[in-house]
């Protein structure tokens, strides 16, 4: 199993995790293939349409926190008539290195994760229905999920209402222990409304609730507790998490079209769960078509969260409480992320079956400062006096998009 700090499946739209809303994606969260150009320089809504016929081919590279993640991803969208569209994605992550968790309690590792996903869209009038499935595999974790969604335009297409549901069922193993098998069930519901506020401005309000049931922690991670016997003054024992978790998130997003081929966009998101975590995230960005064939995008995002009620960097004794956690993604921390993106039109006229093509490059610089999680690589006179841990990561994404 890839430890949380390495759960980096960079599929060309990378975000700092929001409230550790997924135990599998605490630092970097994938939102799917994205083209800088499709950030959009206009905020005027159009009638409901099927996704564009397009092929995206991407290579991503992540380096941070002692972990390297790289691999390819391919996304294909194809329409059939005026009512149906299908989408397929194939994604690979090759993960290697040793995170701060691994260095202190285990050995470096190397493994590969593959993901296959498919989606079918059906358009009828102003209503768009979607159904999708996702399958991911690695040596000690198998993820399976399906999702359904519906969006409906009302009030002369000035308002769009949407809702969706995701059901996931995962199997967790542990390398070297064939008899170890745990399960995790996930349910996610979301509601959203998008409103055309003015001719140049769009606003979106969304709400999501997630329930998790089953094995929610990493089978390899351990907590530490005071123990005078070892020379270092502490020992380790496995984490113990609750078997249930419910989380909620609400987000407000807006985009404003400027009169000179540019747009500004902003977002605020609040997250909370019944483990005691409260988190706030804010993002602001600017997109500008500087030249006829070139689009630049810059974004900044700030994220802060509190710790889970049962989290501790150092417990007073072994099995000090019912639930034990030392995952740094459940601790108090702040994160900053800066994104620079550029998109260039390779083709502006039809060539064979290709109508248009772009080359896109995105760079993300991400930092995270953990206020309570201690860096055990640095010795200290007494346990708990080690310096706190900070992470810095670089993410590079290069991808080509072709419309046909």
Tokens of 215: 């094995």
Q: Tell me how far apart the alpha carbons of residues 381 and 352 are, in angstroms, rounded to a whole number.
A: 70
pTM above 0.75, yes or no: yes
What is the secondary structure of 162-224 as a DSSP string? EEEEEEEEEEEEETTEEEEEEEEEEEEEEEEEEEEEETTEEEEEEEEEEEEEE--S-TT-EEE
Helix (H) or strand (E) holding 269: strand 262-273
Q: Is the pLDDT assigned to residue 21 strictly greater than 50? A: no
State the average pLDDT for the chain.
87
* pLDDT for 192: 97
Q: Tell me how far apart the alpha carbons of residues 185 and 358 are, in angstroms, rounded to a whole number.
A: 39
Q: Is the pLDDT assigned to residue 111 strictly greater than 60? A: yes
With a pLDDT cut of 70, the percent of the chain lying above it is 87
Q: Is the pLDDT assigned to residue 36 strictly greater than 50? A: no
Q: Is the pLDDT assigned to residue 45 strictly greater than 60? A: no
pLDDT band (50, 70, 90) for residue 34: very low
Reference 251, options 274, 275, 279; nearest CA is 279
Tokens of 389: 């841990």
Q: Is the pLDDT assigned to residue 265 strictly greater than 50? A: yes
* Cα–Cα distance list, 349 to 151, 256, 346, 354, 402 (Å): 33, 29, 9, 8, 12
Q: Is the pLDDT assigned to residue 24 strictly greater than 80? A: no
Reference 185, options 169, 209, 166; nearest CA is 169
* pLDDT for 39: 39
Reference 150, options 129, 126, 135; nearest CA is 129
Q: Is the pLDDT assigned to residue 296 strictly greater than 50? A: yes
* pLDDT for 71: 96
For the chain, give every domain's residue range. 4-403
* pLDDT for 13: 33
* Cα–Cα distance list, 180 to 72, 86, 213 (Å): 31, 37, 18
State in Å, rounded, how far the first CA of the chain is from the last one.
38
Tell me the Ramachandran region of residue 352: left when phi exceeds 0, alpha when psi lies from -120 to 50, beta otherwise. Answer: left
pLDDT tens profile 141-195: 999 999 999 999 999 889 999 999 999 999 999 988 989 999 999 999 999 999 9
From the options 2.30.30, 2.40.330, 2.40.360, 2.40.160, give the CATH code of 4-403: 2.40.160
* pLDDT for 38: 40
Reference 13, options 73, 95, 68, 96; nearest CA is 73
Q: Is the pLDDT assigned to residue 326 strictly greater than 50? A: yes
* pLDDT for 59: 97
Q: Of 266-280, 308-322, 372-386, where does mean pLDDT reach its minimum?
A: 372-386
* pLDDT for 348: 67
Beta bridge partners, 356, equal: 403
* Cα–Cα distance list, 329 to 117, 177, 214, 332, 363 (Å): 27, 26, 19, 8, 23
* pLDDT for 40: 41
Q: Is the pLDDT assigned to residue 303 strictly greater than 50? A: yes
Q: Is the pLDDT assigned to residue 347 strictly greater than 90? A: no
* pLDDT for 106: 66
Q: Is the pLDDT assigned to residue 31 strictly greater than 80? A: no
With a pLDDT cut of 90, the percent of the chain lying above it is 73
φ/ψ of 23, rounded to 5, equals: -65, -20
What is the secondary structure of 348-400 as a DSSP string? SS-BTTB-EEEEEEEEEEEEEEEEEEE-TTS--SSTT-SPEEEEEEEEEEEEE
- Residue 35's contacts (CB-CB under 8 Å, 6 or more residues apart) are 12, 56, 343, 358, 360, 399, 401
Q: Is the pLDDT assigned to residue 396 strictly greater than 50? A: yes
- Specify the 3-state DSSP secondary structure of 104: helix
* pLDDT for 102: 67
Asked whether the CA dihedral 350, 353, 356, 360 is positive or negative, the reply is negative
pLDDT tens profile 210-239: 999 999 999 989 999 999 999 899 999 999
Neighbours of 351 (CB within 10 A): 12
For the chain, what is the largest distance between any 2 Cα atoms, rounded to a whole number of angstroms? Answer: 73
């Amino acid at each position: 199993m890839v430890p949380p700090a390495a759960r980096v499946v960079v599929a060309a739209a990378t975000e700092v995790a929001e409230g550790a809303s997924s135990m599998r994606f605490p630092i970097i969260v994938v939102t799917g293939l994205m083209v800088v150009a499709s950030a959009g320089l206009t905020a005027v809504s159009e009638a409901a349409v099927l996704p564009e016929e397009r092929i995206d081919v991407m290579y991503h590279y992540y380096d941070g926190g002692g972990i390297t993640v790289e691999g390819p991803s391919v996304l294909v969208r194809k329409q059939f008539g005026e009512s149906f569209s299908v989408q397929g994605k194939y994604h690979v992550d090759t993960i290697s290195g040793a995170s701060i968790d691994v260095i202190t309690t285990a050995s470096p590792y190397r493994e590969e994760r593959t993901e296959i996903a498919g989606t079918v869209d059906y358009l009828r009038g102003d209503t768009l229905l979607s159904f999708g499935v996702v399958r991911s595999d690695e040596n000690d974790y198998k993820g399976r999920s399906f999702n359904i969604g519906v969006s409906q335009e009302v009030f002369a297409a000035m308002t769009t209402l949407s809702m969706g549901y995701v059901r996931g069922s995962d199997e967790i193993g542990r390398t070297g222990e064939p008899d170890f098998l745990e399960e995790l069930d996930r349910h996610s519901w979301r509601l959203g409304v998008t409103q055309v506020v003015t001719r140049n401005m769009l606003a979106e309000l969304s709400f999501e609730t997630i329930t998790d049931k089953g094995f929610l922690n990493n089978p390899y991670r351990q907590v530490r507790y005071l123990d005078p016997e070892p020379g270092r003054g502490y020992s380790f024992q496995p984490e113990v998490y609750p078997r249930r978790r419910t989380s909620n998130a609400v987000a407000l997003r807006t985009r404003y079209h400027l009169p000179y081929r540019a747009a500004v966009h902003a977002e605020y998101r609040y997250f909370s769960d019944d483990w005691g975590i409260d988190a706030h995230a804010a993002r602001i960005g600017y997109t500008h078509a500087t030249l006829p064939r070139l689009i630049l995008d810059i974004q900044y995002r700030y994220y802060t969260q509190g710790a889970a009620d049962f989290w501790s960097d150092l417990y007073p004794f072994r099995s000090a409480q019912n639930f034990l956690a030392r995952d740094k993604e459940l601790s108090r921390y702040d994160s900053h992320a800066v994104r620079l993106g550029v998109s260039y039109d390779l083709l502006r006229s039809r060539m064979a079956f290709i109508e248009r093509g772009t080359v896109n490059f995105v760079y993300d610089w991400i930092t995270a400062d953990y206020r309570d999680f201690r860096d055990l690589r640095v010795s200290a006179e007494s346990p708990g006096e080690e310096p706190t841990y900070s992470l810095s990561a670089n993410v590079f994404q290069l991808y080509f998009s072709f419309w046909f």
